[in-house]
Structure 1
Amino acid sequence: MYYAHSTINPNKSDWQALKKHLKNVADRSQEFANDFHAGNLAYVSGLLHDIGKYSPEFQKRLDGEKNPVDHSTAGSIEATRIFNGKQSAAGLLFAYIVAGHHGGLLNYGSAEGGLCERLRKPVPDYSAYCNEISIDSHTIGPLGLRPSPGKTGFCISFFTRMLYSCLVDADSLDTEQFCNPDKATLRTNYESFDILAKKFDAHMQKIQSGASDSLINRERKKIFSQCIEAGALPPGMFSLTVPTGGGKTLSSMGFALEQVKKNHLKRIFYIIPYTSIIEQNAKVFRDIFGWQNVLEHHSNFDPATVDTDDLDTGGESLRLATENWDMPITVTTNVQFFESLFSNKRSRCRKLHSLAKSVIILDEAQMLPTGYLLPCLAALSELVRNYGATVVICTATQPRLGDLLDENVRPREIMQSPDRLYETFKRVRVTDLGLLSDADLSARLKDHCQILCIVNTRNHAKKLYDAIKDAGNCYHLSARMCPVHRRKKIAEIKKRLKEGLDCRVISTQLIEAGVDIDFPVVYRTMTGIDSVAQAAGRCNREGKLPFGEVFIFKSTESHGKATSWQSFVAEIGEMTLAGSDDPLSFPTVSEYFQRLYHYKSDGGLDEKEILRQLEERAGEFAFPFEEIADEFQIIEEGTKDVIIPFDEHSRSVIERLRTAEFPWRFVRDLQGYSISIYPNEFREMERMNRIETITDRFYVLRSCEDYSDETGLKLRQGAGYDGSLLIH
């Protein structure tokens, strides 16, 4: 008798039989991969993945021997033996997946490293598997993939990740079912899309019946109706161009629900640029659909904070869903979404198969990382071409992404007349003030009772706030404030605006996308046209005035100078505005993106050459999975997270963290209380003994005196970095 997993019972009566585990994983892998017509391949990978456990050495380990045993390599070796000759490509495909099912997908490498070396590695005798498992090399069939022109390597490597995802999720779920059945029962406790659609319809009827018969509300109804109508179309690539205030969040969700219903799709994903704005949309969806149907997944979210009927099991159910995105609706970030698509790690790839036969809405799509734009678009194209997904590129200022996509996946616009909508929703006038010193700017800001000023760097925001705060009722927002702190301040700002009270806000760009806030006047440092448009979206948002006023300016101060990237987009923005009567019109925005992509076209849209690396040796099935994962980092590594003792809750958790036997248990309790800082800042704070290190992993600000309730983390003179907002 051969076993996959043991218990504390020495007579082995309740141990999991290896044959049963392999069959369970194969069946579940096949079920997942059937969504993209690769069930037979996934089934074989499930049978192969643990055949190394048939070795006497591994069985002795289950009996208590301490010697480590490699059980992953055997299945890879066997795959290349079974699938040789004309099917050698299939053998390598299985080899990648099986060899990496614990440690991650390997580089192909050479005899000295990577998968090649693993396939030459001596392993314990696993031949006993033949007595229990039969692997038929004739059942797998052709791959059936349709690569984009010139992207065969990308297509096959993407397929490898998706099959890998099916295997590792199936393996994890079956192991969990055996080892921790109580935990397994907390999964998949969500409602059907039929029920969710009824909840959504009831919510929309309530909103529309209570809305006044204004021009804007009539247009919002038309936008919603067009989205519902387009939802009946077959899956594909779509664009949704709706001005700020047009209700695109709920309209795009209506489109997604129709797609699910008409095309029998399985999930909805809502992808948002920043964690600083994601909470608002996730809360909207939870209020409509219920907490158990909506997953919010990003670095600053604690599932235990969700208001559920059962806080313990509710929080744990949501946490478990972050592992494989098995939830009807998932709201996550660009970073989480795209870095997972290019990862080689088991934990990050595990959820990828859930994207097949899903609706993926990219909110604020103009915020896709420019340096990785071509790989990101290639991934979205793959999901549409080969995995039955629908992708919606959703913006108020539609970037010219269609020009960078293959002809057969170029987006179809959902709105019938986006240019007419722009004119209907036009609520601001934009004026270019040219050069302004901080003295001139602060004088202007003090003249207004309610005003928002957005600048490019945190240092400028701090200095400008200090210059105007004596006017009273002033607020500062930046990534120097932990998320819990920012949320508190934004709530105060909204309350004052609603009550018509004085409110002057200095912010970095974190306020530009997704924050539902309405000022009569907005000032914006010169930047890209897309950011100007986002800033304008915070002005006269509700149309209470005939026109709101948006002023663009260039700072004359050294601390107001933009970073290299911001300077680059600001220069293109200035060039574009020079010949435009309306800075936010469709032709102006289109020209801006055309210029931007033209200037970045020489390698700047794929700075790490991800696509080239995947094509170089595609004919050999030789892919650098580890290197790609290391290089595809939207947030460049090197920053450190410092935990802020902001309130009584965080201080209490930090106190328990100091004496905890298992400090990782407190990670979720401290989400929302950390700030990312640059290496030079971290070193300076360490030198000045301002940081406490706990278990060599957690960095805590020692003194509350180093954190201001007005502006957040205090950086001593000379230690700072005049950087822009860190986007998480």
Structure 2
Amino acid sequence: MYIGHIGQDDDRIQELSTHLLSVRDMCYQWGKEIGLAHVCGLAGWLHDMGKYSDTFQDYIIKSHDNDPSAIRGSVDHATAGAIFLANYSQNPGELDEVLVELVGNVVMAHHNSKGALDYINPEVLDSPFTKRINKSNTDLIYSPQMIEASERFFSDFDTSEFSKYYQAAIDEIRPLENTIIQTQAFFLRYVLSTLIDADHTDTADFESNNTYKQTVQSSSILSHYFDINEEAVQTQIKENSTVSNPRTKKLNQLRQKMSDACYQTASEATGIYSLSVPTGGGKTLSSLRFALRKAKLQGIQRIIYVVPYTTIIEQNANAIRKRLNWNANDSANILEYHSTIMNEPKDPAYYYARDSWDSPIIITSQVAYLDALYGRGSKNIRHMHQLINSVIIFDEIQTLPLNCIELNNDAIQWLEQQNTTSLLCTATQPALEKLPHGLSIAKEIVPDLSFAQNAFKRVEIKPVFNEAQQLKVHSLSDLISLTEEQLHYQNSVLVILNTKKVVRAAYEALPEQPGLKKFHLSTSMCPKNRQDKFEEIKKQLDATKNSENNKVAVFATNLIEAGVDLSFECVIRSVAGIDSIVQAAGRCNRNNEVDLGKTFVVKMATDVEYIGGPLRLLKDKSDITDALIQKNHNQDLLADSVITDYFTRLYAEKRSELPYPVNTSKTEISLYPLICDLDKDPKKESIKAYVKKFGNLPPTLFSTAPNTVANYFRVIDSETTNVIVQYNTESIRLVSELISEKSKFENISKLLKKAQPYCVSVFGDPNNSRSALGQLLSTGDVQFYPEQGIYVAADNAYSKDLGLVGTGNFDYLDY
């Protein structure tokens, strides 16, 4: 018997052959979904072949006994399977080459936090994959350890069974060879994803003394949810027929029309669709209806909502749960996936207990979704294979970062080939077909877009001009005067500004008045604090409907623009991208409370609202909007032609940023060409550079550089760190437990998940005293606890009205 794992808390042994078969069979099942069952299964079968060696068997026993000579990572067990595979075929052809490059890389990299190895490293123009497999080949193929591992592997498994399995993998590759090579990065990531998920699942099951079982098919659960949702739709139609307010009744009828269009379109083929419903048109529930019917008709396994901000994940999840009569027994069926607090934990108990995406309905962030495709870390790679055979609903697709748009375009086109339908939802479609690497025009679900836009029109956008008919530059006092003027005529005003600093300044500058309730909202406040403020604001807005003496003024950053179900009679928006202005207008007269609401666009003085430096992109977007306002003085900024013009100008002006350029310490590279549209074309930059350096084409069929991409890919440019704040009694209790010496190590993970609503993301390097986090640490407003790996804010550093402000004058409030 050869050891695969030894229980951490006992002496139970999992036989290596048991582990390999379990992982192989899980990989096989997931591989079936893309026609590569045996290819993925082969990766699972070979991934721990190196554990058969005496070197590893000795290591694992010593490690369990806490022998200091057993140093973690000192024994390479991941390379042997790749070496064996590379030398298995007696007469290797091109199909064997594809199999070795695909599966061999996955096997070698299954413990690599940055994923698969580069075939061509664009920084130094070598081939890490070739170097490792060739060096290891020379060192290992005839070594006692390799011979030992091979012989012992086949003492556990039948040689003829393996031979048939290998040939089945070759047969799967044959019809897909060109497709695999052309989109190699996605196939490589997929196979690695299945292996990591299967490996972690089986190991966690062994550690917990559970057996992996196939749960109820997601498609069955989604079919059940479809039936519940259709009942809810019919109930809603009946309720709408009894509504007395004509404006509300008309709005509900329009929303129903959008919902019905989604229902009808769901019967069409897998593809890329757009849902250009104006703000307030009921996108969340209409898109849910689309996805559930598609799941019912096509056996889809998963519905994934991708939203731009973690702040609205909970809101969308609650709306969906309410619609589907969710209860606590369904907790695994509608999953909210939030960003985690710590990076990679040091203890395996954390590593295997991380959130998975094995759920019929997932609501997650753009960051988590894009990290599943391109990010570093096993937890991200593990998610990737769950994206196929799904419906992915992109809420506010126009908010994708510029340097991620083309990467996402290629991803959803590959996913389409794997039976995944993408639904691009927004009130301002971002003209993705205009990009150098664009999408073919998505099929629009709304049957008559211009009619829908006019029918849903509940607000007019009014730029505030000076005498020269240019946007008037507002000082802080000008802004407060405009706010007070509108509060004289309206009961509620929302002011959205571009930086935390000016939001706080405006909030504090508005004088207190009898009957006036004013609020501050920014990401300096933890999610629970913001949610409580939203509830309080909603109550105050309701109160304004019953009394003219009640007034509400809210000063907020753009966090309020998407997915927040609050409606104001008037909105004032500091100039930004047109897409942001449209979103801001969506908070005005949201439910047709008045005939036509007003959204004012103002230009703030630079000494009040500075949007250069880290906010340079926002400045550029604002300038484009300013130019379009001058060009279209008398035209509605909500018009399709204006929005298309905006995105066309933006893409042209920012063309150099689209392929995700990176300045490394060695050279300048772009990530897009390392992932997408790959072949051995000698005209490609990386191939040309390689030929120039070595005088010949690269030795591999593959040329992608996933390790380099993972190393540099960040959805958000600036690094942030989560700081736990002491907002209420619950958060104070959690902090106390977390930092307690008595807190058991295995309980910290649970406590950290409970602490997520009490976290504020702070920019900057903790070792840089000039950064936001560095300043907070230097003044004692934040303290780091190394054993738990957490940052905690001091009690007096947090305000329920302003958020994490510290006791000093911090520059981070600018942004």
Given the two structures, how large is their TM-score scaled by the length of structure 2?
A: 0.81
For the pair 1:199 / 2:235, whether they are aligned, the reply is: no
Please provide the CA RMSD for this pair. Answer: 2.7
Note the C-alpha offset of 1:664.
4.2
Of 46, 70, 76, 1:70 maps to: 76
Aligned partner letter, 1:444: L
Report the equivalent of 1:246. Answer: 281
8 Å contact kept, 1:340–1:349: yes
Classify the secondary structure of the residue corresponding to 1:197. helix
Relative distance call for 1:401 and 1:322 in structure 2 (3 A) is farther
Of 47, 50, 53, 1:52 maps to: 50
- What are the residue-to-residue correspondences of 1:668-707 with 2, within 5 Å? 668-679=753-764, 680-695=771-786, 697-702=789-794, 704-707=795-798
Deviations 1:100-135 (A, max 9, x none): 112242334689984334322345331221233343
Report the equivalent of 1:435. Answer: 473
Report the equivalent of 2:535. Answer: 491
Relative distance call for 1:198 and 1:9 in structure 2 (3 A) is closer
Report the equivalent of 1:635. Answer: 716
More divergent stretch after superposition (131-140 vs 671-680): 131-140
Aligned partner letter, 1:363: D
User: Considering only CA atoms, is the larger Rg found in Structure 1 or Structure 2?
Assistant: 2
Of 699, 704, 707, 1:623 maps to: 704
Relative distance call for 1:420 and 1:112 in structure 2 (3 A) is closer
Unaligned runs of 5+ in 2: 343-350, 465-471, 545-549, 663-669, 679-685, 688-697, 765-770
Of 699, 715, 720, 2:811 maps to: 720
8 Å contact kept, 2:4–2:19: yes
Of 412, 430, 445, 2:443 maps to: 412
Distance 2:211 2:536 in 1: 40
Note the C-alpha offset of 1:392.
0.6
Distance 2:586 2:630 in 1: 22
Report the equivalent of 1:163. Answer: 191
Report the equivalent of 1:573. Answer: 625
Relative distance call for 1:522 and 1:330 in structure 2 (3 A) is same
- What are the residue-to-residue correspondences of 1:122-271 with 2, within 5 Å? 122=139, 124-125=145-146, 126-128=149-151, 129-133=153-157, 134=159, 135-136=162-163, 137-140=166-169, 141=171, 142=173, 144-145=175-176, 155-182=183-210, 192-211=221-240, 212=243, 214-271=249-306
More divergent stretch after superposition (112-121 vs 452-461): 112-121
Aligned partner letter, 1:371: N
Report the equivalent of 1:553. Answer: 602
- What are the residue-to-residue correspondences of 1:284-323 with 2, within 5 Å? 284-289=319-324, 290=326, 291-292=330-331, 293-299=333-339, 323=355
Note the C-alpha offset of 1:639.
2.5
Aligned partner letter, 1:719: F
- What are the residue-to-residue correspondences of 1:485-524 with 2, within 5 Å? 485-500=529-544, 501-524=550-573
Note the C-alpha offset of 1:410.
3.4
Deviations 1:493-521 (A, max 9, x none): 01111222321000000000110110000
Report the equivalent of 2:497. Answer: 455
More divergent stretch after superposition (22-31 vs 391-400): 22-31
Report the equivalent of 1:381. Answer: 413
Aligned partner letter, 1:675: V
Of 578, 595, 602, 1:529 maps to: 578
Note the C-alpha offset of 1:55.
1.3
For the pair 1:97 / 2:106, whether they are aligned, the reply is: yes
Distance 2:62 2:796 in 1: 53
Note the C-alpha offset of 1:408.
8.0
Distance 1:530 1:577 in 2: 13
Distance 1:363 1:408 in 2: 17
8 Å contact kept, 2:528–2:758: yes
Distance 1:638 1:343 in 2: 14
Relative distance call for 1:281 and 1:203 in structure 2 (3 A) is same
Report the equivalent of 2:517. Answer: 473
Deviations 1:566-599 (A, max 9, x none): 1100011111222221011111111111111111
8 Å contact kept, 1:451–1:503: yes
Relative distance call for 1:154 and 1:276 in structure 2 (3 A) is farther
8 Å contact kept, 1:30–1:40: yes
Note the C-alpha offset of 1:383.
0.7
Note the C-alpha offset of 1:184.
5.6
Distance 1:48 1:107 in 2: 20
Aligned partner letter, 1:540: N
Report the equivalent of 1:652. Answer: 733
Classify the secondary structure of the residue corresponding to 2:523. coil
Distance 1:668 1:542 in 2: 35
8 Å contact kept, 2:723–2:793: yes
For the pair 1:394 / 2:429, whether they are aligned, the reply is: no
Relative distance call for 1:402 and 1:604 in structure 2 (3 A) is closer
Of 596, 603, 623, 2:650 maps to: 596
Distance 1:343 1:698 in 2: 22
Classify the secondary structure of the residue corresponding to 1:225. helix
Relative distance call for 1:488 and 1:570 in structure 2 (3 A) is same
Distance 2:737 2:656 in 1: 52
Distance 2:126 2:617 in 1: 40
For the pair 1:666 / 2:727, whether they are aligned, the reply is: no
Distance 2:315 2:617 in 1: 28
Distance 1:189 1:145 in 2: 28
Note the C-alpha offset of 1:182.
4.4
Aligned partner letter, 1:525: S
- Between Structure 1 and Structure 2, how many residues are aligned? 701
Note the C-alpha offset of 1:220.
1.5
8 Å contact kept, 1:300–1:672: no
Distance 2:560 2:523 in 1: 11
Distance 2:182 2:36 in 1: 17
8 Å contact kept, 1:105–1:345: no
Deviations 1:180-227 (A, max 9, x none): 244967976976222111111122222222123722222212111111
Report the equivalent of 1:308. Answer: none
